[in-house]
Amino acid sequence: MQLVAEFVLVAADPVDGHSAESIRLQHRVGLLARRGGGLLVAPWGREGPVLLPGIRHVNPHLPPGMGQEAKVHQLSDVLSAQLDASRYRIAHVMGIQLAIPAVIRRRRGLKVLVEPGATPAQRFRDLLDDVRAPQIEELVAIESKTLARADAVIARSTVDAATLGKRGVEIDRLWTVPDGLPVVDGITSTPDLPHIAYVFGGTSRTGINTVLEAMARLPGAWRLSVMRADEGPIGAGETYAKQLKIGHRVSWGRLDDTGPGRIAGAQIVVCAPQLGRVVEAGGWVPDAALWALAAGRALVAPELPAVRAVAGGAARYYDPDDPGALAKAVNGLLVEPDAREALVAAARNRAEQFTWEQADAVLSDLWDHFRDDL
């Protein structure tokens, strides 16, 4: 006989990471705990499972270094086993691939809420430079069927919502839940040293070469900290930095526990994703923009709808993938303190529009909507 439980939350990111994906998951888990708890199917963090009242965090047994695709398959198997062992009523799934085991079981009365984010088909298109291979067509078809069968689809921005609408998601099933901001303790005034922080992650192509070429054109003294928010390789552009003869000015690391301090120690935060379907579709959220707003730092970012949806007027924009334009934008802020401080003031005003309280309120309404239907 199956046990009847209410809620299962599913994600492929660790709860204790510092990327936008992990921070979002942290708040989803916290909201679930405050509302009585449920099952969490997600990778264990560095210190083991989530220990919050009411949260049962199953161990998916993911070996260190496992690739993202293999991780998703393993998590899908764990989710399938859990859904077969107990009769869950609501599944909130972060990632369209992980939603497939849930939508297959909708006939049992399971309500499925999907946050697609950046999809595999979008990433594959970027990697193939827009070559429409048969595999992409198959991926798109699977994703479209999953979106069509979900009871609700959650967008992360107005740009993401527009993309999902074009993919056939009806307005009455579409909910937009923008992120809040990461936490930066003890926000200080802008430091005097010309330190620039480049934060990246979550896209198929990093844009690191554009940043390095731009920095090589900057006159005067400066330092660059490159911080990766996701779990990909850190020093992907290290050799290129040495070729440009700026390797001694660049430090490389992951956006870990020391990341907020390094961002707060920068005069300027750079966002520079390489153009591609992931960036244009809007399911990807720019980590750099979120951290710049949270720390109250001047942001330099490409003129893209997905970036402007977060940064608004709190950024100096440049033409995407143009190192010359990026260098001009960064240098302008380095030599114009008043312009830099104007962006700092804009960032602090803009930050007030991105709160986790607002995000949690919308999600609570969504969860209540489907719980009331049971």
CA distance 216 to 274: 18
Mean pLDDT estimate for the chain: 91
Domains, the chain, in order of start with CATH, read 3-179+355-372 (3.40.50.2000), 195-351 (3.40.50.2000)
Looking at residues 7-33, what average pLDDT do you find? 94
DSSP letter for 341, please: H
pLDDT for position 209: 94
Indicate the pLDDT class of residue 8, thresholds 50, 70 and 90.
very high
Question: Tell me: the pLDDT tens digits for 238-249?
Answer: 999 999 999 999
pLDDT for position 259: 84
Question: Tell me: the pLDDT tens digits for 335-356?
Answer: 999 999 999 999 999 999 999 9
Q: Are 97 and 140 in contact (CB under 8 A)?
A: no
Question: Tell me: the pLDDT tens digits for 253-283?
Answer: 988 888 888 999 999 999 999 999 999 999 9
For the cut 50, the answer to whether the pLDDT of residue 328 exceeds it is: yes
Cβ-based neighbour number of residue 76 at 10 Å: 21
HSE-up (13 A, CA, CB side) for residue 141: 6
Cβ-based neighbour number of residue 338 at 10 Å: 6
Show the tokens assigned to 230: 């996701």
For the cut 80, the answer to whether the pLDDT of residue 329 exceeds it is: yes
What b/e readout covers 289-314, taking b as 16+ CB neighbours within 10 angstroms?
bbbbbbbbbbbbbbebbbbbbbbeeb
Q: Which of 117, 145, 138, 119 is nearest to 24 (CA)?
A: 117
The vertex-30 CA angle with 27 and 31, nearest 5°, equals 85
Question: Tell me: the pLDDT tens digits for 170-186?
Answer: 999 999 999 999 988 87
pTM: 0.93
Q: What percent of the chain has pLDDT over 70?
A: 97
